[in-house]
Structure 1
Amino acid sequence: MAHLLGAENLGVAFVTRTILDGVSLGLEDGDRIGMVGRNGDGKSTLMRLLAQRTTPDSGRVTRRRDVSVGYLDQTDVLDGSLSVGEAIVGTQDDHEWASSPKIRDVMGGLVSEVDWHAPVSSLSGGQKRRVALAKLLIGDHDVIMLDEPTNHLDVEGVAWLAEHLKQRWRPTEGGLLVVTHDRWFLDEISTRTWEVHDAIVDGFDGGYAAYVLARAERDRMNAVIESKRVQLVKKELAWLRRGAPARTAKPKFRIEAANELIADVPEPRDTLALNKMAMSRLGRDVLDLEDISLTIDAGGQERQLFSNVTLRLAPGQRLGLVGVNGSGKTTLLRMLNGEVAPTKGRLKRGKTVQTAVLSQEVRELDELGDSRVIEVIEAEKRVFSVGGKEVSASQLVEQLGFTNEKQWTRVSELSGGERRRLQLLRLLVGEPNVLMLDEPTNDLDTDTLSAIEDVLDGWPGTLVVVSHDRYLLERVTDTQMALLGDGRLRDLPGGVDQYLELRRAAPSLAVTGSSASPAISKDSGAGNGSSEADLRQARKDLARIERQITKIDAQKGRLHQQMEEAGAKPDADFEYLADLNAKLTALQEETDGLEEQWLLAAEVLGE
């Protein structure tokens, strides 16, 4: 394999802390590498160095002269004065970029729900992220580096991105380097894993599942990691081994070694015992939404968010919610918590129910900025039970990654991920019996997620999780339901895979803006008067036209080659060349006509 780029003896230190110390590594053609490690251990720093966005204190980064690197930083800033279309494709006309299947695929996968003509400055943080990612992916790069690319993507968007990256290059071409906390995504796209820790980088073959096994073996053999962390890794490994069969089939995942390691590890959750305990705390009635409907104001127009929805939560139930953006997942949590009243129907609440909600913004900690971490937890309670064992507030705080030194940090000085961890702890020590988590994985590293899942495993109550992180959903919930944007709530006996199948079968259910790009929108067409038959025909036309354009592109490529060969001869036949050129012109005219048809068909789906 050809060498793409590499690092020699990299060293980086901030004040009194060494981030990287003598790190040497390389990226070759065909490498698909996922980076993991605790927050603050240097993953993003290493990626910025390899992308040559910053310079190391010592050592150097080398790159093959012809290598093009595309890089998505967590803090990428787009020109706010540009429209969405200009930010992605520049000044190209629609028919220019629409002729590229790759660009059309990226547009449909990432920005179909974004107003094509809106200024970038008017977009939400999540929309800006999608636009920045689309701008990067339409380019032709030998190496792509992505820092937390799944942030702000829903389950469908994460699945699309994984498939796009797997199909983007041939297996022995291109290089991919990804930093992400999404463990399902890591397993899908990675053939190698780099763990950044203690100022060094360790390499492992395979994705996240293989890395978990290899790290457990390394920790056991070297006996350098405290037994508490080993047990967490083994417990997650037990779930990986006993979970979806696909995980155990990952390359390099040695099943015999896994069985030996987890022989003495109990199931992650004793569901029967937890449900029995939850029943004693909650009684038979928890939270019921009975035949509710909700109409909201969407930009001056009324939109029905829910239509005759019924949801009954049982004691000890662990429910995962997935859905398209704008379908009402957060609103549904707020209705269950009594913060939003339905237009029709009612919320029935059990007499002993005590709810707690982890919001996306974690604004609840703003008023506690001057307090220390340990003070915030001890103000709620000093001792509480995890998995049938009593632990002190200090022990629990340490379990979720707050070292003795970090426990005395002021809340105002915490990072986003640390604030999320602290607020979750604060909610848990308040002993609610119904816990609702809204996108709990934001800003958290994989080790912290494992620790949180371990705490939730022994928590006896009803749990509702809204998340785009399918690994987390499969790990901590037992049932899943979906909001597809049509006002209804669907059971998912087949889990997240069933949700993705539903989305592929009915893309018209997406919640989109009325001004999305005409070439990429997935709207149902209700706003443009198109019937369902028209929509089906438009989708068929798009597929047919794309196949025709692909065939014509191949013909044009052969003609170009013939013209080059004929023109290189000393006795070039100019009449033959003119004939080839006429054929090429005719094919280009045919392509132009097909592209116009493609845009017309897309408008039927998009306006």
Structure 2
Amino acid sequence: MHYLSVENLSKAYGVTPLFDNISFNINEGDKIALVARNGVGKSTMLKILAGKEHADKGKVWIHKDVKVILFEQEPNFDESKSIGDNIFNHDHPVLNAIRLYEIALEKSETEPGEENNEALQTALQQMADLNAWTFEAKVKQILGKLNIHHLDAYVSSLSGGQRKRVALARTLIDVGFDPQHSMLLMDEPTNHLDVEMIEWLENYLGGENVTLLMVSHDRYFLDAVSDVIWEMESSNIYHYTGDYANYLEKKAARIESALATIDKAKNTYRRELDWMRRQPKARTTKSKSRQDNFYEIEAVAKQRIVDQQLQLQVKMSRLGGKVAEMKKVYKSYGDKKILDGFDYTFSKGERIGVVGKNGVGKSTFMNILQGLEQPDSGKINIGDTVIFGNYDQQGLQWKEDMRVIEYVKQFAETFPLANGGALTASKFLELFLFTADKQYTFLSALSGGEKRRLQLLTILFKNPNFLILDEPTNDLDLPTLEVLENFLTDYQGCVMIVSHDRYFMDKLVDHLFVFEGDGVVRDYPGNYSQYRIDEQLEEDKRKEAQARQADTANAAKTETPAVAADKRKVSFKDKREFELLEKEMPELEKERDELNATLNAGISNYEEMMAVSTRVGQITQLLEEKEMRWLELSELIG
């Protein structure tokens, strides 16, 4: 099924074009990753497809049965409403029933009472009437995996990362309701997710029969979810089938082939130009044909393949023998321990990854090391030559809007380079792909990636020798990330990285500080993928042990009179569901028998016969599902 077509789409802000005359098609089941440099218009393209922005020219056609669902980097909410109301923001009976059930269940568990139990019973009845349990299981999985609770809390109380996860839950629930007729557009979906959430999202999107167009800088995620990569560049979209490594290889071959074609055209162009100059004004038909061909050759010969690369040639201040030392460092917030007697001596050239769940204190730890926060006790000794460069998640900060060049000149007029030379602020900006025109753009008009690139520039000009990078990959385009990775690989100073980008971490860190919670920090000797493999092995062992314990306990129950006591622990929800199944199954069987009798008697109207046959199939499938559930509950209830 053909979902979407774009024809000659163009968009510009002022005199600067983002893209021009772009055309493409998306079909059912396509899973496409869109890559391009920051500022080329990836996010704008997604918003145009979703109808949230308008193109300057061109056409967007969307199949009438297809619903376009956009996940944005900066989600919008109704701040006056609760988390639950924002997630279940469609007026559909099933979604309304699930919302009421989730809230009622949460209240009955946290605030037991007759009123809340009655509300839960009413919600359970609505769920059963609408046969909403299958979809409710999917909703519960999404909310659980994204760590979303307290649905009656207001979204205005959420942090930036929590808001992003709520927006993602809203998007996935919206798609999951009818994945076959949904086209999902995702702009950097992995930002603000921890690795467990990212890995779950990979599996979820891979398993869903959903049509997807996404922008992502996470190369492992990109490889796991998409099967096609589109590169948007000026007036073209280049298609590459396969993973990111294959894309890089094929792109290099494409550029090499294009350069060879241009060189060949230039040689031909010189000969034809000489012929054009020597020809009289009156031309024969043959001359006219050759003249037309000349202009085609001229167009090819004058093409320019622009493959600008961010250049990082920053001078690093000398780093002495003593770097940093943390002795018996303690830090807590109330009952929550962040550091519990942490000891470590940093060495020159160390590359450390910092990992752990959100909220365990990774950012606090890095702030304490830099002296931005004070520990409760302990000693922190920093070498005299150490200059920290802190690339944090707050992003670019400014008090009042100004032009890019004005912002940079606040820090310095010239910047020292690694080769001993120096550059003016303007020339240094050009190394960071800010052209002369772009340097006079206001900060507020920059894309998210351009702001992060400018933030990186202002940190590196200080010549730091101890870089602390807190989620450095967020909002940076893939070409910039590759250059940053190469720069950090050759960097002689210390590097400490907090990132959920597994590819970035694997490439750069030698060992990890693993924040396990309750003040425990483990020094793991390996990269991120190795750590995740070991963690999974440990998790598998724990599950096996739990399964063995459960089997032993179940065996003991069958030999003792404790079964009766166990029966009394069956939840209210299970009992209610069992009762409803015993009522629903005979009704479905009766309806199926009546429809089969109608079919056997013969129906002359073809459409009516097809409708009856379809319903019989639906009932048969429903009965199979309900019988399996009835058996499970009957064993539990006994």
TM-score by length of 2: 0.68
SS in 1 for 2:18: strand
Residue 524 of structure 1: aligned partner: none
Mapped pair 1:108 → 2:163: no
Query: Which of 312, 329, 336 is equivalent to 1:292?
Result: 329
Alpha-carbon contact 2:514-2:521 (below 8 Å) kept: yes
Q: Which range moved further: 312-321 or 344-353? A: 344-353
Question: Counterpart of 1:491?
Answer: 523
1:214-262 CA-partner distances (Å, limit 9, x unpaired)? 2222222223435753x98xxxxxxxxxxxxxxxxxxxxxxxxxxxxxx
Question: How far off is 1:584 after superposition?
Answer: 7.7
Task: Give the AA of the match of 1:569.
Answer: L
How far apart, in 2, do the equivalents of 1:122 and 1:354 lie? 36
Contact 2:588–2:623 (Cα < 8 Å) also in 1: no
Tell me whether 1:308 sits opposite 2:308 in the alignment: no
The one of 368, 375, 396 equivalent to 1:335 is 368
Partner of 2:430: 398
Structure 1 consecutive aligned stretches of length 4 or more whose deviation exceeds 6 Å: 555-561, 580-587, 592-598
Counterpart of 2:154, as a letter, is P
Check if 1:215 corresponds to 2:247.
no
1:144 lines up with 2:144 in the alignment:
no
Secondary structure, aligned partner of 1:308: strand
Equivalent positions of 1:18-29 (< 5 A) are 18-29=17-28
1:132 aligns with 2:167: yes
Q: Would you say the 8 A contact 2:39–2:449 is kept in 1?
A: no
User: How large is the Cα RMSD of the aligned pairs?
Assistant: 4.3
> CA-to-partner distance for each residue in 1:33-92, whole Å, 9 max, x for gaps?
001112221212222333344443433222333333332133432223333233334532
1:325 alignment counterpart: 358
> Once the 2 structures are TM-superposed, how far is the Cα of residue 325 of structure 1 from its aligned partner?
0.7
Give 1:326 deviation, angstroms.
0.2
CA contact (8 A) 2:411 2:458 kept: no
Residue correspondence of structure 1 range 498-537 to structure 2 within 5 A: 498-501=530-533
Shift of residue 416, structure 1, vs aligned partner: 4.0
- CA offset at residue 165 of structure 1? 0.8
Aligned to 1:463: 495
CA contact (8 A) 1:34 1:207 kept: no
Match of 1:443 in 2: 475
Choose 1 or 2 for highest CA Rg.
2
Offset at residue 197 of structure 1 (A): 1.9
> 2:261 aligned with 1:225, yes or no?
no
- Which residues of 2 match residues 7-18 of structure 1 at below 5 A? 7-18=6-17
2:227, 2:242 within 8 Å by CA — same for their partners in 1? yes
Partner of 2:219: 183
Q: Does 1:356 pair with 2:389?
A: yes
Partner of 2:269: none
Post-superposition CA distance 1:508-561 (Å, at most 9, x none): xxxxxxxxxxxxxxxxxxxxxxxx989x869x99xxx9xxx9xx9xx9999799
2:195 and 2:342 mapped to 1: Cα distance?
22
Cα distance in structure 2, aligned partners of 1:227 and 1:45:
22
What amino acid does structure 2 have at the position aligned with 1:71? L
Query: Is the contact between residue 399 and residue 451 of structure 1 (CA under 8 Å) also seen in structure 2?
Result: no
Structure 2 Cα separation of the partners of residues 372 and 586 of structure 1: 64
- Which one has more relative contact order, counting CA pairs under 8 Å at least 6 apart? 1
How many Å apart are 1:483 and its aligned residue? 1.8
Q: What secondary structure is seen at the aligned counterpart in 2 of 1:39?
A: coil
Match of 1:384 in 2: 416
Task: State the secondary structure of the residue aligned to 1:291.
Answer: strand
Cα deviation for residue 436 of structure 1 reads: 0.8
Matched AA of 1:29: E
Aligned equivalents of 1:6 and 1:560: distance in 2?
47
Shift of 1:381: 6.7
Q: CA deviation at 1:434?
A: 0.9
Following superposition, the deviation at residue 336 of structure 1 comes to 0.9
The answer to whether the 8 A contact 2:328-2:378 is kept is yes
One-letter amino acid matched to 1:198: S
Q: Specify the SS of the correspondent of 1:185.
A: helix
CA–CA distance in structure 2, aligned partners of residues 327 and 43 of structure 1: 34
Q: CA deviation at 1:422?
A: 2.4
Query: Partner amino acid for 2:435?
Result: T
Q: Check whether the contact 1:189–1:207 (CA below 8 A) recurs between aligned residues.
A: no
Change (3 A) 1:409 1:10: closer
The equivalent position to 1:566 in structure 2, one of 580, 592, 596, is 596
Distance 1:162 1:566 in 2: 43
Q: Distance in 2 between matches of 1:70 and 1:412?
A: 27
AA in 1 matched with 2:150 = D
> How has the CA–CA distance of structure 1 residues 423 and 557 changed in structure 2, closer, same or farther, with 3 Å as cutoff?
farther
C-alpha distance in 2 between matches for 1:411 and 1:15: 15
Between the aligned residues of both structures, percent identity stands at 33
Equivalent position to 2:464, from 402, 422, 432: 432
Tell me: CA distance 1:381–1:503, structure 2 relative to 1, closer, same or farther (3 Å). farther
2 CA distance for matches of 1:32 and 1:296? 44
The alignment of Structure 1 onto Structure 2 pairs a total of residues equal to 504
Note if contact 1:456-1:476 (Cα within 8 Å) is conserved in structure 2: yes
Contact 1:3 1:28 in 2 (8 A): yes
Q: 2:237 aligns with which of 201, 210, 213?
A: 201
User: How has the CA–CA distance of structure 1 residues 58 and 377 changed in structure 2, closer, same or farther, with 3 Å as cutoff?
Assistant: closer
Distance 1:8 1:489, change over 3 A: same
Q: Equivalent residue of 1:281, what SS?
A: coil
Matches of 1:587 and 1:491 in 2, distance apart?
48
Amino acid at match of 1:485: G
Q: Secondary structure at the match of 1:210?
A: helix
1:295 Cα deviation after fit: 0.9
State how far apart, in whole Å, the 1-side matches of 2:428 and 2:44 are: 30
Structure 2 CA distance for aligned equivalents of residues 467 and 443 of structure 1? 13
**Relative to structure 1, is the Cα distance of residues 591 and 436 closer, same or farther in structure 2, using a 3 angstrom cutoff?**
same
Structure 1 residue 27: Cα displacement? 1.1
Is the Cα contact below 8 Å between 2:7 and 2:21 reproduced in 1?
Answer: yes
2:56, 2:507 → 1: CA distance? Answer: 41
C-alpha distance in structure 2 between counterparts of 1:122 and 1:317, whole Å: 39
Equivalent pair of 1:52/1:61 in contact (CA under 8 Å): no
SS in 2 for 1:340: coil
Query: What are the Cα deviations for residues 303-344 of structure 1, in whole angstroms up to 9, with x where unaligned?
Result: 112223333321011112122110111111101102222223
Q: Residue deviations 1:441-473, cap 9 Å, x none?
A: 222222222333343344321111111222222
Structure 2 distance, partners of 1:493, 1:537, is 34
Going from structure 1 to structure 2, the CA distance change for 1:105 and 1:496 (only over 3 Å counts) comes to: farther
Alignment of 1:152-167 (within 5 A): 152-167=192-207
C-alpha displacement of 1:379: 4.3
